Amino acid sequence: MKLTLWLLDVNSEAKNGVPEIWLWGIDRSGQRVLVIDRNFRNYFYAVIEETANAKKVAEGIAQQQSGSIVKLEVVERKLFGKPVNAVKVYCRNLNDVPKCARELRSFEGVKDCLEDDIRYSMRYLIDDNTVPCGWHEIEVTEETNTRKVQVSKVYRAQSFPKLLESTEVPKLKVLGFSTIFYSKEGSPKPDRNPVVMLSVATNSGEESQFLVDEDRNDGPVIEDFVSYVRHFDPDIIVGYGINGQDWPYLIERCKKLGLRLQVDRAETEPHISVYGHVSITGRANVDLLDFVGEFSEVKVQTLENLADYLGIMKIENRQLVEDVDYADYWDSREKREILKKFSMDNARCVMGIAEAVLDFAMQLSNLVSLPLDHVGSAAAGFRVEWFLIKRTHGLGELVPKRIEQPYRPYAGGVVLKPLPGMHGDIAVLDFKSMYPSLMIAYNISPDTYVPPKEPVPKSGVYEAPEVGHHFRKEPAGFYKEVLSYLISVRDEIRSRMKALPPESVEYRVFDARQKAVKVITNASYGYAGWTGARWYVKPVAEAAAAWGRHTILNSIRMAEEAGLRVVYGDTDSIFLNNDVEKIEELSKKIKKELGLEIKPDKVYVRIFFTEAKKRYAGLLPDGRLDIVGLEVVRGDWANIAKTVQGKVLEIVLKEQSPEKAAEFVQQFVSELRQKRVSFRDLIIWKTLTKPAEEYEVKASHVEAAKMLKEKGWELAVGDKVGYVIVVGSGRLYERVKPYKYASYDEVDLEYYVSKQVVPVVARVLESFGITEEQLLQSAMTQKETRKLSDFFGS
């Protein structure tokens, strides 16, 4: 019989030594099914020495082979574009591939062995064009469910999956959760601190909360959670930061309590997989934190900030609780209800973010052929690499070994020194896929690079400006093939979207797919210069960057010749005065002379630049502030510094009144001195990057950590340490105190005025002639004239 399957998850198993591929998915009727494929043999390539005869080498291997090799095949392949002869070695069992490859590396006539480090399940996806989050047709026979897996039916594959063209996504069951761990002293540790609360929400609208009893016996809490998961039977489990915190904690906590965290579909437990993510067999575990980078506007990447940005739950409507205060809130009868609501709101935010993110995640998974739980945790380089592996497989290109390279820097894109101060009506012109387009135009690819000692090919070469690297003109390299494919696919998708209503499901899926294609296309440029790349060829990335600099500098020259004033430039964009007619003519000229498309990406009503590169704030037409690189978006200052700078930028950009901004600062300082500012906003948070005793240099957060340890707190690498600066003498690190053990009366308020508030606002106001000294002087002499609420209400 033929089965139509939407592939959710894939894993490999071995039964009686026979390797199996397990394909978990959903059929057309909505049933959860498992297809077991025992037809696929794993293999690797033995690359033959140029002077050796491949056929004779294969015969020699066959004569000496052990029972682990089942088939040998002489093939022609390419390696970095150069033809090679190879023997394709098929192995019997999963563990035979690395063992056989080690043996054959020393076999006479074998130069090296390649692709022995590709995992069996990924090999399966590569070879047969089987893609996660896509529909396939498979010839199957039904089997008895002897494995006790949690599915409606188990099948045995009689054919390899055939990919179907379909944008439809089945109705998936999604479960999101949020945890609260209890610790009175420091960050919670699973060997001693209980899970006091687990909040769950689903895409079917169900919500549940599991709480410990008064004895803080959390065994029943975890068991109830496991039971709920198995009963709801989700296809996808989501959370925020769950790969780094929640799952590892629950796994270790269950070991301590002697419980099984059996939340998968195969009666096993979650385990750490290849990219550091947690794998749950038969389900997709998706950590939404892995996708927050796709929202560049969210500068501080917390759950509440992302939920606020997406309009799921506004921060001003929430009562937030810091993790270090969970125990205090749990122990208080009055505050416990606040903690319960906070936890449930977190679960709701998780589900809201999942609704916004999962379409993109699934399309990215489908595009690069990494399973859904892998694709978020995999670094951009790995995403690009798996896409390249899949595409080059059809071109006969062998996959090189991964050899970790030493970091060797190279010049990147052009970043102009900005014209500091305020500018009105500024357009930002962005090149469309600048680096991919340059790589296509100049055939820049790992397999087209011509090293200095090699002769120039008959087809001729392109020579990169500045760096002088050569790339053959013909034939096309695999980067040109891959990038041309990606750009054409995205153009086709966007063209089809125009005919669809934006509110339709099909439009949403296409939009997610074109974003996924864009992400992979833009990440391809830096891949060849990534030290972890299999196809690492530094001149590829270096030449692309050089052509990029050449392009942007020529564009700036053309803009100035056209009478446009360029105020800033960064990598593949230029900021200039918004003269619509001149910009339109400039775009046409750049297209004609440089062969690249450039168009306005955004327009700022007003934009403010500091003297430093990559630090600016702009006012968008819809009233939002776009802030890049300033303290307001950085996590290493007290909250008062970020609050004040953000408000100053808002006043300056929206009201164009530096004087009013300075007045706001004076009033804020007055309220701070009267202790009307929240004590929590004075806390400075820093993360321990190594054990406190291993720091050689005295640092404030390290001294605070040592004080906490003296009071019985157990701190580990990655823990946040919150401290305040108190009145006293000596160096700054001698005047810190963990905020838990400090009172407002001890705080050195003048430190916060002179070292936190005034410096960050001076970075803005000095451009308008208001100096740090003037701000400090006025802060000393100012009188209370307005309430702070007057400014925030303005």
- Residues 262-276 have pLDDT tens digits of 999 999 999 999 888
Phi-psi category of residue 693: left, alpha or beta, with phi > 0 → left and psi -120 to 50 → alpha = alpha
Number of other CB atoms surrounding residue 282 within 10 Å: 22
- Residue 233 and residue 280: Cα distance in Å, rounded? 12
- Residue 56 and residue 58: Cα distance in Å, rounded? 5
Residue found by looking up tokens 């400075």 in the block: 684
- Residue 294 and residue 287: Cα distance in Å, rounded? 14
Q: Give pLDDT, residue 779.
A: 58
Q: Give pLDDT, residue 778.
A: 67
Q: Give pLDDT, residue 783.
A: 44
- Residue 95 and residue 89: Cα distance in Å, rounded? 14
- Residue 752 and residue 123: Cα distance in Å, rounded? 58
- In sequence order, what E strands does 293-444 have? 421-431
What is the token pair recorded at 517?
Answer: 């294609």
Residue numbers in the chain where pLDDT is lower than 70: 66, 299, 631-636, 778-794
Q: How far apart are the first and last CA of the chain?
A: 69
* Dihedrals phi, psi of 441, to nearest 5 degrees: -60, -40
Query: Which of 114, 113, 347, 392 lies closest to 209 in space, CA to CA?
Result: 347
Q: Give pLDDT, residue 410.
A: 80
Residue found by looking up tokens 């002077």 in the block: 51
- Residue 115 and residue 755: Cα distance in Å, rounded? 56
Number of other CB atoms surrounding residue 158 within 10 Å: 14
- Residue 86 and residue 396: Cα distance in Å, rounded? 11
Number of other CB atoms surrounding residue 221 within 10 Å: 22
pLDDT digit string (tens) for 492-506? 898 989 888 888 878
H helical segments located in 180-294: 219-232, 247-257
Number of other CB atoms surrounding residue 681 within 10 Å: 15
Handedness of CA 686, 381, 506, 347 (dihedral sign): negative
Question: Is the bond leading into 475 cis (omega within 30 degrees of zero)?
Answer: yes
Element at 354 (helix H, strand E): helix 333-368
- Residue 372 and residue 351: Cα distance in Å, rounded? 17
- Residue 614 and residue 634: Cα distance in Å, rounded? 13
What is the token pair recorded at 223?
Answer: 């068991």
Residue found by looking up tokens 């959760």 in the block: 177
DSSP, collapsed to helix, strand or coil, labels residue 592 as helix
CA atoms within 13 A on the CB side of 236: 30
- Residue 242 and residue 229: Cα distance in Å, rounded? 16
Element at 112 (helix H, strand E): strand 110-114
* Dihedrals phi, psi of 157, to nearest 5 degrees: -75, 130
- Residue 486 and residue 480: Cα distance in Å, rounded? 10
Asked if residues 682 and 659 have their Cβ atoms less than 8 Å apart, the reply is: no
- Residue 249 and residue 163: Cα distance in Å, rounded? 39
Query: Which of 735, 737, 773 lies closest to 754 in space, CA to CA?
Result: 773
Q: Give pLDDT, residue 332.
A: 93
How many residues belong to the chain? 794
**Cα three-residue angle 460-463-464, rounded to 5 degrees:** 155
- The structure's pTM equals 0.84
DSSP, collapsed to helix, strand or coil, labels residue 389 as helix
